[in-house]
Amino acid sequence: MDTDKIINFFARDRYAALAGIKILRVEPGYAMVEMEIEDKHLNAADIIQGGAIFTMADFAFAVASNAGGQVTLSVNANITYFKSATGRKLIAEAQEVSGDNKLIGYNVDVTDENNDLTARISIMGYRKKERMPF
Amino acid sequence: MDTDKIINFFARDRYAALAGIKILRVEPGYAMVEMEIEDKHLNAADIIQGGAIFTMADFAFAVASNAGGQVTLSVNANITYFKSATGRKLIAEAQEVSGDNKLIGYNVDVTDENNDLTARISIMGYRKKERMPF
Amino acid sequence: MDTDKIINFFARDRYAALAGIKILRVEPGYAMVEMEIEDKHLNAADIIQGGAIFTMADFAFAVASNAGGQVTLSVNANITYFKSATGRKLIAEAQEVSGDNKLIGYNVDVTDENNDLTARISIMGYRKKERMPF
Amino acid sequence: MDTDKIINFFARDRYAALAGIKILRVEPGYAMVEMEIEDKHLNAADIIQGGAIFTMADFAFAVASNAGGQVTLSVNANITYFKSATGRKLIAEAQEVSGDNKLIGYNVDVTDENNDLTARISIMGYRKKERMPF
């Protein structure tokens, strides 16, 4: 696995780039991404928009689940918000839970600078036959 | 209800604004929002990032559930993706399913220009005692 | 479609039978089932156990999604409970939301005798190549 | 905490008893329950009905989340099925993920005799002010 090629490929995720999300670590079945909280992530109530948290989780899932080289799409996701974030950045870690079938399962934990769990996302993916271009 | 005040208030959702999402209709318990698909919404596989679809749904929920004046937060959401979007824009419609308790339920349907269902999102909200500033 | 054959086939669902769930209507993509509330459905707090409501929903989904003759399995389900049931029986109605792909979506509404929505369940199914024996 | 009192109290869950589910371990925020697979748990396709797996998970959550003495209800649950069960029994383990607020989060893993993950369930609970009678 060539980590730089994977990171370069996912730099093409323009929606994750718009949100300023960066890959910190990646290996097949695992990814850690980071988002520095800025004004642009806030909703009308001045807290982080749910979509920004979800975008991180979806991106971490995409990186982790495709890192092994087989194209994987998200088909379902369930997000539960536990507490408001404290500090200036969020970390999302995606970890494969079950990966033997066409339908695979991932857990993504989003934590804040206090290491408190802000949200947990369960994502179900579908493995296609195509290979990734890296 | 003063629709303009509500729309002005939600113009402060900077993450929805970043994604270019616009409110088309709002009344207590209902909202319709629109997003013109641009390059910035695409992921590394050149399809709309799940986070962009989720952001629309979360925003439509926030507008609909707060339009009645009582502060409501999202606590859980479940999204299922049905098919890739066709055309240049997406519509998300949020509709209250159950609203009598502190915990309320919303359905959000995201449809494309063919009126095909791209994704459906079930959102559970929590009503707080505070009132909205409009 | 031979409705009696479908009903006979699903009489083999022993867990639904244990709960006393009966099919009221079935057609491809739709089913309505009923459960008379008995002492055996209650949990330690004397309310209907979540599993009993879920069993109804899962059964209604199975009947509706297999009625067309192609084997369909549930891969994910999301249930939200809205209010305690009133009266002596519950109805669950399963309706196809999206059915064009291998991955299909269903909505199941569980209502009580007041016609109040007790719970809503989103179920994602996976269509296999095998045909049902009816 | 008096474990026997808790186990006695939850022996009143008649739907869990109907399914033959037994508590193996309990402490505040954690429970392990077991179900021996019998003919009565099977659906029309001769595999374990989703409702039986869900019933285990709901029961494990109820035992774990109420063990601390404060009444807790399930408000939402999301289940993903990963693989068919092998062997003659299933184990469900409920573990608190986030417990500081009124809205709490649990993860429940259901494993078979091979220790393979059959299903994972995320449950969101709501803490009431009432105390349990034990």
Query: To 10 degrees, the CA torsion angle through D58, D59, D61, D64?
Result: 180
Q: Which residues of A touch D120 (CB under 8 A)?
A: 97-98, 105, 107, 122
A79 within 8 A of A56, measured Cβ to Cβ: no
C74 Cα to chain A: minimum distance (Å): 12
Q: Which residues of B touch C83 (CB under 8 A)?
A: 98, 100-101
Residue of B nearest to A122 (CA): B78
Q: Report the neighbours of B using a cutoff of 3 or more CB pairs below 8 angstroms.
A: A, C, D
Q: Report the neighbours of C using a cutoff of 3 or more CB pairs below 8 angstroms.
A: A, B, D
List chain B domain ranges.
3-131
Closest CA to D60 of D104, D17, D19, D30: D30
Q: Which residues of B touch C78 (CB under 8 A)?
A: 78, 122
pLDDT above 70 (res B99): yes
Helix (H) or strand (E) holding C98: strand C89-98
Determine the pLDDT at residue A5. 93
Residues 6+ apart with CB under 8 A from A64: A26, A27, A28, A29, A30, A31, A94, A95, A96, A106
ipTM: 0.96
Determine the pLDDT at residue A1. 65
Nearest Cβ partner for C78 among B78, B82, B101 = B78
Bridge partner list, B42: B48
Determine the pLDDT at residue C133. 85
Q: Which amino acid is at A34?
A: E
In this prediction, what percent of chain A has a pLDDT beyond 70?
99
Between chains, do D76 and B124 touch, taking CB under 8 Å as contact? Answer: yes
**Average of per-residue pLDDT across D79-90:** 94
Tell me: the pLDDT tens digits for B60-95? 999 999 999 999 999 999 999 999 998 999 999 999
What superfamily would CATH give domain D3-131? Hotdog Thioesterase (3.10.129.10)
Nearest Cβ partner for D51 among C12, C15, C73 = C15
Nearest Cβ partner for B122 among C83, C100, C120 = C120
Determine the pLDDT at residue B134. 84
Between chains, do B43 and A13 touch, taking CB under 8 Å as contact? Answer: yes
Determine the pLDDT at residue B118. 96
Determine the pLDDT at residue B15. 98
Query: b or e along B82-91 (b: 16 or more beta carbons within 10 Å of the residue's beta carbon)?
Result: beebeeeebb
Model pTM score: 0.96
Determine the pLDDT at residue D100. 82
Mean pLDDT of chain B, nearest integer: 95
pLDDT above 80 (res D1): no
Tell me: the pLDDT tens digits for A3-39? 999 999 999 999 999 999 999 999 999 999 999 999 9
Residues 6+ apart with CB under 8 A from B45: A71
Residues 6+ apart with CB under 8 A from A93: A30, A31, A32, A60, A108, A109, A111
Q: Which residues of C touch D11 (CB under 8 A)?
A: 44
Residue of D nearest to C124 (CA): D80
**Average of per-residue pLDDT across C20-38:** 98
**Average of per-residue pLDDT across D58-86:** 95
Give the pLDDT band of residue B100 (cuts 50, 70, 90): confident
